[in-house]
């Protein structure tokens, strides 16, 4: 059995498509993923934005983000369908599970170091000053 991976798919829809059409397109793509035994964990309609450069004589597009959990087979089918759809101007798929795992590992390491620093005893100079009644901040 293969390990499930996490992918983020962002696609740009033609600005002439209304919100209802964008939602129908998004739902159709989600059905493709579920039919391939994948799982859509998050859907976000990011709205209409200006493009960095003109695509098919369009200067704007509606951005949609899908977060998909699966084996990768569903991504191949999804990209094939997006490639032939005239309403989708551009798409990009990024595998994010390894990056998230690495970020969690670094976050845990930073938390351990911070806990170690908080639990570490004060330096000898500050202990001696405290014993003598001196306030380091006032000096």
Span 51-107, pLDDT tens digits = 999 998 999 999 999 999 988 888 999 999 999 999 999 999 999 888 777 887 888
Q: What is the pLDDT of residue 1?
A: 45
In this prediction, residues 30-39 reach a mean pLDDT of: 90
pLDDT for res 98: 81
What digits encode the pLDDT tens for the residues 115-133?
888 887 665 555 555 555 6
pLDDT at 72: 83
Q: Please say if the pLDDT value at position 2 is more than 60.
A: no
d(CA 27, CA 135): 65
Q: Which domains does the chain have, with CATH numbers?
A: 5-95 (3.30.70.60)
pLDDT value at residue 123: 57
SS (H, E, C) 51-99: EEEEECCEEEEEEEEEEEEECCHHHHHHHHHHHHCCCEEEEEEEECHHH
- Find out whether 46 and 65 touch, Cβ atoms under 8 Å: yes
Run of H or E including 50: strand 39-55
Residue 127 has what pLDDT?
Answer: 58
Rounded to an integer, the average pLDDT of 29-42 is 91
């Amino acid at each position: 059995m293969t390990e499930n991976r996490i992918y983020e798919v962002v696609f740009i829809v033609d600005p002439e498509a209304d919100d209802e059409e964008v939602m129908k397109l998004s739902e159709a793509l989600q059905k493709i993923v579920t039919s391939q035994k994948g799982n859509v964990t998050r859907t976000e309609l990011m709205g209409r934005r200006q493009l960095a450069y003109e695509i098919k004589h369009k200067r704007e597009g509606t951005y949609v983000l899908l977060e998909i959990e699966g084996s990768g087979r569903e991504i191949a089918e999804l990209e094939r369908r997006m490639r032939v759809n005239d309403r989708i101007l551009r798409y990009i798929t990024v595998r994010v599970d390894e990056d998230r795992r690495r970020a969690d590992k670094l976050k845990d390491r930073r938390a351990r170091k911070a806990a170690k620093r908080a639990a570490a005893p004060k330096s000898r100079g500050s202990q001696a000053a405290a014993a003598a009644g001196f306030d380091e901040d006032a000096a």
